[in-house]
């Protein structure tokens, strides 16, 4: 599994339509699902929650929960659905996490997390990984993070994705927890020095290719979050400069390649806005980008969007000065 570059699991963002769209831009980036809670998989519509397009691969399933039994069952189900990795969420700072006992609050219970990971690994042949933060509330010393990772490592887990911020539970919103706590990249670098034989991946506030290059000198991989969602063509730069792949579609070609998928999905009952909302940032920084956003917002990102307009979208791209360049 190549985890050199990945796109972070993001609630309300990295659904199957977003992943298919991103895969049209990047062939090498590892993609993650939104977090799916173990109990939802146990009790809910598994096909609706877990089914994905084979063209999204490689794709990892991120699970949330704290029941060793339910997480083990969910991991096995994820394998059966064809995912390439199972990731346990130990970093979500949502207000629901303490009540429902998942996400970053589990940093307080490393032995419970270890039990979950042991059961998950026993239930699947897929690699089981974790995504966590450097700390929570007033617990932000490196020693605590080191001890936490040491306990998880003892279960056999070898890949650790670290968001280089702590989380403030109960006080900050999830959005505030993405911005206010300071980034401490040095903690992640130190983890790599202390655990040289394990895979340490850095996450948090990374938006440019030169930043990625810098982090790759000190860690095994980089996970991109909001930058990949709001400026998705960043993945084209990553393909060129990190993976040395010059066979990259232009922005216009990405939309052209997306149209057959849209038509196929609409026949299944998917609404147009459920797909097109993910493409708002495709022309970011290009001539005509504001027109693209305005046109989509008015015509294709509303609940009752007219599906007939998808047949004319390329005319809007071509005749409204929207860039057709790869760069």
Query: Which residues form the catalytic set?
Result: 92
The encoded tokens of residue 132 equal 């966590």
- Give the CB-side neighbour count of residue 15, counting CA atoms within 13 A: 12
- Per DSSP, the three-state class of 218 is coil
d(CA 137, CA 181) in angstroms, rounded, equals: 10
Residues 252 and 250: their CA atoms lie apart, in Å, by: 5
Q: How far apart are CA 171 and CA 90, in angstroms?
A: 18
Helix 16-25 and helix 251-267, axial crossing angle in degrees, nearest 10: 150
CA 184 vs CA 145, 159, 247, 299: distances in Å: 12, 19, 36, 42
Helix (H), strand (E), coil (C) string for 238-306: HHHHCCCCCCCCCHHHHHHHHHHHHHHHHHCCCCHHHHHHHHCCCCCCCCCHHHHHHHHHHHCCCCCCC
Any alpha helices (H) in the chain, and if so which ranges?
Answer: 16-25, 38-43, 46-50, 68-81, 96-100, 110-123, 142-153, 174-177, 185-194, 209-216, 226-230, 234-241, 251-267, 272-276, 289-299, 313-319
């Amino acid at each position: 599994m190549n985890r050199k570059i990945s796109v972070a699991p993001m609630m309300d963002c990295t659904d199957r339509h977003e992943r298919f769209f991103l895969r049209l831009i990047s062939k090498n980036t590892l993609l993650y699902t939104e977090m799916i809670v173990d109990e939802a998989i146990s009790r809910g519509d598994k096909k609706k929650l877990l089914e994905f397009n084979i063209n999204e691969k490689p794709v990892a399933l991120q699970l949330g929960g704290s029941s060793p039994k339910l997480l083990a069952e969910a991991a096995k189900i994820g394998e059966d659905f064809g995912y390439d990795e199972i990731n346990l969420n130990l970093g979500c700072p949502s207000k629901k996490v303490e009540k429902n006992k998942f996400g970053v609050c589990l940093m307080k219970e490393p032995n419970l997390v270890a039990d979950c990971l042991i059961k998950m690994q026993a239930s699947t042949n897929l690699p089981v990984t974790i995504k966590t933060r450097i700390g929570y509330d007033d617990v932000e010393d490196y020693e605590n993070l080191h001890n936490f990772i040491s306990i998880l490592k003892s279960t056999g887990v070898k890949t650790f994705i670290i968001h280089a911020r702590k989380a403030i539970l109960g006080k900050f919103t999830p959005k505030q927890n993405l911005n206010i706590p300071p980034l401490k990249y040095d903690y992640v670098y130190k983890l790599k020095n202390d655990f040289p034989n394990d895979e340490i991946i850095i996450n948090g506030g990374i938006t440019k290719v030169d930043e990625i290059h810098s982090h790759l000198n000190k860690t095994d991989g980089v996970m991109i979050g909001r930058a990949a969602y709001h400026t998705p063509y960043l993945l084209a730069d990553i393909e060129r400069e990190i993976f040395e792949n010059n066979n990259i579609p232009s922005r216009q070609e990405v939309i052209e390649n997306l149209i057959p998928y849209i038509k196929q999905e609409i026949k299944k009952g998917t609404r147009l806005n459920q797909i097109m909302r993910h493409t708002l940032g495709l022309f970011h920084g290009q001539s005509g980008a504001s027109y693209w956003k305005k046109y989509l917002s008015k015509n294709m990102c509303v609940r009752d969007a007219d599906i007939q307009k998808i047949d004319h979208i390329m005319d809007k791209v071509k005749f409204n000065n929207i860039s057709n360049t790869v760069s």
